[in-house]
Structures are given as C-alpha cells and as structure tokens.
Amino acid sequence: MSAEAVLLRARGNPSGRTLEAYLGAGGYEGLRKALARVPEAVVKEVSDSELRGRGGAGFPTGRKWSFVPKDHPGPRYLICNADESEPGTFKDRELIECDPHMVIEGIAIACWAIGAHTAYIYIRGEFVRWARILEQALDEARARGLVGRSILGSPFDLDIWVHRGAGAYICGEETALIESLEGKRGFPRLKPPFPAVVGVFGKPTVVNNVETLACVPHIMTRGAAWFASIGRSRNTGPKLYCVSGHVNRPGVYELPLGVTFREIIEQHGGGIRNGGKLKAFFPGGSSAPIMTAGDVDVRADFDGCAEAGTMLGSGGVIVFDESVDIVAAAANLAHFYAHESCGQCTPCREGADWCMDILDRMLDGHGRSADPDTLLRICRFASEGMTICPLGDAFALPISSMVTKFRDEFERRISTASPRPQKKLPALPWAGQRPGFGD
Amino acid sequence: MSTRPITAADPAAVARAGFDDAMESKITALLARYPTAQAALLPVLWLCQERYGWISPGIMEAVAVRLGVSPAYIQGVVTFYTMFYTAPPARYVLQVCETLSCAVCGAKDLLALLERRLGIKPGERTADGSFQIVGVQCLGACGNAPVVQVNDDYYEDLTPARLDSLLAELGRAR
C-alpha cells in the first residue's frame, strides 16, 4: 500500500534539495510542459486530477484557480501558504527541508495557470531555517533562469519572494495572511469577496498550501489520470500525514489518500509507545473533532473523515494513549486558541477565553455541574458562521467533541471537585494567574 | 549547531534611530518586492530586529517615517505579533512549546528544568541577561516533541538531560 514516494522522494538524501539533484530527478519538466500549453489547459489538467487543497479545507485546487477573473486588467498574485501553525502539523517544513524546488516549481506552474507574475511564499516567522532554505533554492533557480525574466526561454516573467510572518496562528487563514502580507495586523476579512476576486493589494489572488503546490509539478509531468489513480474518487493523490504524540515512530509519512487511521498509527507510526493502548486521536490537526479508539478504521481522506463527522484538515494526526487526561488536553487547546484568537469577533475572542477559564478552574478542582453544558453552549455560539473566519469553529469543534465524547471524564472531575468554590474568586478566574499565558 | 546569541542594542542607542546606508540599501531592495510601501513593514521590522536585537519606540518611529505610516500604526502591528521584541531580549531566548503534542510528550519537565536551573519563571530573564524563558504556542515541529526554540534555532526531541547539556553549552559560549 505504501506506494513510491512522490513528494518526499528526496528525503534522506543530504544533497537532495539542491537544484542539481532536483533537475537530475526530472525537476522543472512540469514547468516546461506547462509553459508549452495555454493556461486554461493547465487549470483543466489540475482540475481533472481532482487535487484538493492540503492546507485544511480540501477545496478543489483547479476550481480555486478557475475563479480568478480572466479579463482582469491589472496584476494578480499567487501566495504559497507556508504559515504551518496548526497544532499537530509539520509536513510543509519537511517538504521545504527535503525538496524546496518542488514547491517553487509548483508555484511557477500555478502562476502561469492564473496569469500571476509575482508570487509570495508566506512562511511562519519561527521557520528561520526553512525560510533560508527557500531563499537559497530561489537564488539557484534565478541563476538558472527558472525564476525571473523570460523563464525557460518563454515570454513569461515571474518573481517569487519569501515573506516571513512574525508569530500569529491566525495568519494561516488565507485572508488574515493577505492582511499580514500587506503589512497589517492579521485580521481575517469577510468573505465574499473571495481572494480570487479581491485578494492581496485588492487584486485577484490565489492562496495555496505548500503541499498542494508540490503536487502540481507531478500532475503536469505524469498527467491528471496518473494522479487520480492514487487514492479514490474525489480523494486523489499522495498525502503527507503528520503523526505526533504517543506513538513509537512519530514523523511525516507519505501515503495514498484513503488509508485508514489504523494503518497510519499502527503500521507507520509504529503503534502506541510503551505498549500502551490508544485512547483518542485528532485526525487532522487540533481544530478537527477528536476521534476515539473505536474510530481507527475511518479512512484518512476528505470524504472518509467528513462521513465520520470530523475533518482531514491538514493531516496532523495527534495520538493519545490512555495516560492522557482529556480535561487537561481540552484546557491546553483552550489556551492555544485563546492566545491565537485575533480578537475581532466577540464569540471567538471571549468564547475561547471563557472555555480556557472554565477548564482551568476544573483542573484546579473547582468544577461545577453546569460546566460541561456551559462549554457546549459557548462552543455553539462561536461556531457555525458566527465569526468572520473559522477560528471560532477551530476551538469549538475540538472542545465540544471532547466534552461530548469524553463527558464521563468531565463529570468525574466535577464529582471530585471541592464542594465550596471560593466566593472571593471571580466566577471565571483571570487567565494571568497561570504563568506563561494570558499576557 | 551553535546558536548565535542576540546582541540587543542599548535602549539609549536606539532612542532615536536613523538608518545608515547599509540598512537603507536593504530597505530599498525590500520595497521593490511589493506594490505598496506598507507591505514591506514586516520584512523591514525583521531587518531592524536582526540589526538592533529588538524594536524600540525609536525604531518604530524611524520605520514609520521611512514607510510613510504613523508610529501608532507600527506599534499596533508590532504588538499583534509575538516574535517582535519590544524590550531588549536576553542573549538566549528559550521558547518552550507548550501546545498539545509537546505537552503530552514532556514539555512541562523541560519548563521545570529551566525554571530550576535558571531560577526564573516564564516571561522572566536572568539577572546577567543571559537567558529568558518564554512559554510559546505550537512551533510546528510536533513529530519531534518536545521542542524548544533558542533564538532562531529549533532543538528537537529534547529530554531534560539533553536540555541541561544544551544550557551548559550556551552558558559556556558567553
């Protein structure tokens, strides 16, 4: 089942990320082929491959590209989203580390397809080393005429720039990323208009994830039919799964879409460490509803996860053994989302904080019988379109699913709580009382 | 790998910052990448932080003048993001990832070791200005949890013992 490595074929080769190595493996052949065809044909090839965005939403890439108005007179832009910040996700870093030219070639092809002459790689600020790797690769590509004026002897000009973020989870959301790229605070924008119509600098913009773009050269060289033959209908191609937490062999695994979580966790992740038992797992980053041990036979693809009431998201599989306290895990995530909410929308800004305060109070031994329902109510108010961007859902889905699926653990906390909560404490204690957070 | 220490400019030295020719040519090159000057804000702030170690009010003012936006606007942006230092940082900023995968793989033990060894709490710095501990959110290296970022470098698959020897190494490098 673990077919040939496509995206991570250069992994393990220390000189694999040089331009020489990439060209030796047939690199930039996809760009050459794309430039020989009209942009519409490139969009169609990607549409036919059924490639879906690997950043989290799973939106069909070819369709996204086709939304860019063809008759728009001014410039248009492509942004490669390398702001990998979803807890449990570390695949784009691996791709950039192993094969940055694959990403650059994908960007160049995408730019040709949508008619963009400028692309930005927005990479999270912490990834200093990986930003340097991309810069080096771009220098190599410029020196070879693969990026810059008249690339590969065609009349097509293309500039690609690396743009570092500065520490904000929200900037992984495409409209927040666009705001950030414009030199602003990362506040998501209302949609519509969608970025494909009004994006960065007010111009049509496509934002694609690193892994999505890395698939594109292969679709051009080997064809849409080859790509669509991997996985199953509507869930095609190779996927990078990130396995972290309590497994013997955490890491990034390239597998065909549609493998089961059992295969990912047991076969590739090496099973639960110390001979332990699986308790629960996040299927696709921490913003997806949690799954229990009984869900391991769900297919790890877009539709398989949706049918099981969760999301493939970014493919970040976080594995918990039986030692994990779900209430503590929920509190940990609540801290994350409370810290990372941009603060524009009340349900998310306040809701994440309230969840954090309630969960911290439960951990401190002052849980109350109404807490689980209060958490669920807060989550309901923060999700289902009550906020500008999906960060409201991103905290609501995991927390409400943890309360629902592990309610007994929450109840147990409450039943052993101190019977008289201190009256002097505010109902929801201030987050700053815990070191390291809330500042 | 040896992590480069941060050399933070003295507050008095950057109370009124101006850009010399070296900075100016780098800023000009950055501006050419974007259709608006404002878009160069984050890259210019990074340039300043690399040069001066932190972003002082004087630097914000100089950037504001150079990019044609108000200092208040710059401050709004600087403080939105977590990675810009608005006070001189220690030579080594130890950022301990506290999010889920690291949390279940022993981040607490790392934090406890740092607090014990350095005698400071997260958010504080040692009196000699060598170290500063910060608890941070997901660093995106969950497969190698637990992770600590020291200045620009990631240190992965850490145990308290490995972190302890790293600490000793960094301490000797002073």
For A140-186, the pLDDT digits (tens) are 999 999 999 999 999 999 999 999 999 999 999 999 999 999 999 99
Give me the amino acid identity at A334. A
A404 pLDDT above the threshold of 60: yes
A365: domain CATH number is 1.20.1440.230
Q: Do B35 and A243 touch (CB under 8 A)?
A: no
Average pLDDT, chain B: 95
Q: Do B36 and A167 touch (CB under 8 A)?
A: no
* Cα–Cα separations (whole angstroms), residue B149 to A93, A250, B100, B138, B140: 15, 19, 16, 11, 11
pLDDT category at B171 given cuts 50, 70, 90 is: confident
Q: Do A250 and B144 touch (CB under 8 A)?
A: yes
Q: Do B43 and A164 touch (CB under 8 A)?
A: yes
User: What integer pLDDT is reported at residue A427 of this predicted model?
Assistant: 53
Residues 265-324 (A) with a CB less than 8 A from some CB of B = 282, 286, 316, 318, 320, 324
Distance CA(A187)–CA(A180), nearest Å, equals 8
Q: Which residue of B has its CA nearest to A334?
A: B99
Distance CA(A95)–CA(A101), nearest Å, equals 10
Q: How distant is the Cα of A318 from the closest Cα of chain B, in angstroms?
A: 7
**Are residues B128 and B159 located together in one domain of the fold?**
yes
Q: What is the ipTM of this complex?
A: 0.97
pTM: 0.95
Q: In terms of DSSP bridges, do strands B92-97 and A278-282 run parallel, antiparallel, or are they unpaired?
A: unpaired
Other CB atoms within a 10 A radius of the CB of residue A151 amount to 23
Residue that terminates a domain, selected from B30, B64, B88: B88
- Which range of residues forms the domain containing residue B131? 92-172
For B8-36, the pLDDT digits (tens) are 999 998 988 789 999 999 999 999 999 99
User: What integer pLDDT is reported at residue A437 of this predicted model?
Assistant: 41
For B101-123, the pLDDT digits (tens) are 999 999 999 999 999 999 999 99
Residue A139 lies in a domain: yes
Mean pLDDT on B24-49: 97
Q: Which residue of A has its CA nearest to B96?
A: A436
For A2-50, the pLDDT digits (tens) are 468 999 999 999 899 999 999 999 999 999 999 999 999 999 999 999 9
User: Which of B148 and B174 is assigned the larger pLDDT?
Assistant: B148
For B53-74, the pLDDT digits (tens) are 999 999 999 999 999 999 999 9
Distance CA(A149)–CA(A153), nearest Å, equals 9
Give me the amino acid identity at B20. D
Give the one of A84, A87, A126 whose C-beta lies nearest to B99's C-beta. Answer: A87
Count up the domains in chain A and report the number. Answer: 3
B139: domain CATH number is 3.40.30.10
Instruction: Provide, rounded to the nearest whole percent, the portion of chain A with pLDDT above 90.
Output: 91
Instruction: Provide, rounded to the nearest whole percent, the portion of chain B with pLDDT above 90.
Output: 93
Q: How distant is the Cα of A382 from the closest Cα of chain B, in angstroms?
A: 21
Distance CA(A231)–CA(A229), nearest Å, equals 6
Q: Which residue of B has its CA nearest to A321?
A: B104
Residues of A in Cβ contact (< 8 Å) with B77: 183-185
Residue A14 lies in a domain: no
User: What integer pLDDT is reported at residue A439 of this predicted model?
Assistant: 37
Best interface-test mutation with A: which of B38, B83, B101 has the largest number of A CBs within 10 A?
Answer: B101
Distance CA(A420)–CA(A365), nearest Å, equals 10
- Any CB–CB contact under 8 A between A3 and chain B? no
Q: Which residue of B has its CA nearest to A183?
A: B39
**Are residues A150 and A250 located together in one domain of the fold?**
no
CB A239 within 8 A of CB A265: no
User: What integer pLDDT is reported at residue A435 of this predicted model?
Assistant: 45
For CA atoms A435, A436, B1, B2, give the dihedral sign: negative
Count up the domains in chain B and report the number. Answer: 2
Tokens of A216: 């594109």
**Are residues B40 and B109 located together in one domain of the fold?**
no
Mean pLDDT on A430-436: 47
A430 pLDDT above the threshold of 80: no
Mean pLDDT on A337-362: 96
DSSP category for residue A296? T
B1 pLDDT above the threshold of 70: no
**Are residues A158 and A58 located together in one domain of the fold?**
yes
B68: domain CATH number is 1.10.10.1590
Q: How distant is the Cα of B10 from the closest Cα of chain A, in angstroms?
A: 23
Tokens of A399: 């927390």
**Are residues A97 and A171 located together in one domain of the fold?**
yes
Residues of B in Cβ contact (< 8 Å) with A437: 135
Q: How distant is the Cα of A3 from the closest Cα of chain B, in angstroms?
A: 22
Asked if the bond preceding A193 is cis, omega within 30° of 0, the reply is yes
**Are residues A244 and A342 located together in one domain of the fold?**
no
Instruction: Provide, rounded to the nearest whole percent, the portion of chain A with pLDDT above 70.
Output: 95
Task: Report the alpha-carbon angle A152-A82-B31, nearest 5.
Answer: 70
**Are residues B101 and B49 located together in one domain of the fold?**
no
Nearest Cα to Cα of residue A85 among B81, B132, B74, B87:
B81
Residues of B in Cβ contact (< 8 Å) with A251: 143
**Are residues A168 and A242 located together in one domain of the fold?**
no
**DSSP string computed for A346-388:** HHHHHHHHHHHHHHHHHHTT---TTHHHHHHHHHHHHSTT-SS
Residue that terminates a domain, selected from A306, A321, A336: A321
A239: domain CATH number is 3.10.20.600
Residue that terminates a domain, selected from B88, B115, B150: B88
Tokens of B161: 């013992």
User: What integer pLDDT is reported at residue B16 of this predicted model?
Assistant: 84
CB A124 within 8 A of CB A82: yes
pLDDT category at B134 given cuts 50, 70, 90 is: very high
Q: How distant is the Cα of A93 from the closest Cα of chain B, in angstroms?
A: 8
**Are residues A128 and A224 located together in one domain of the fold?**
yes
Can you tell me whether residue A153 is helix, strand or coil? helix
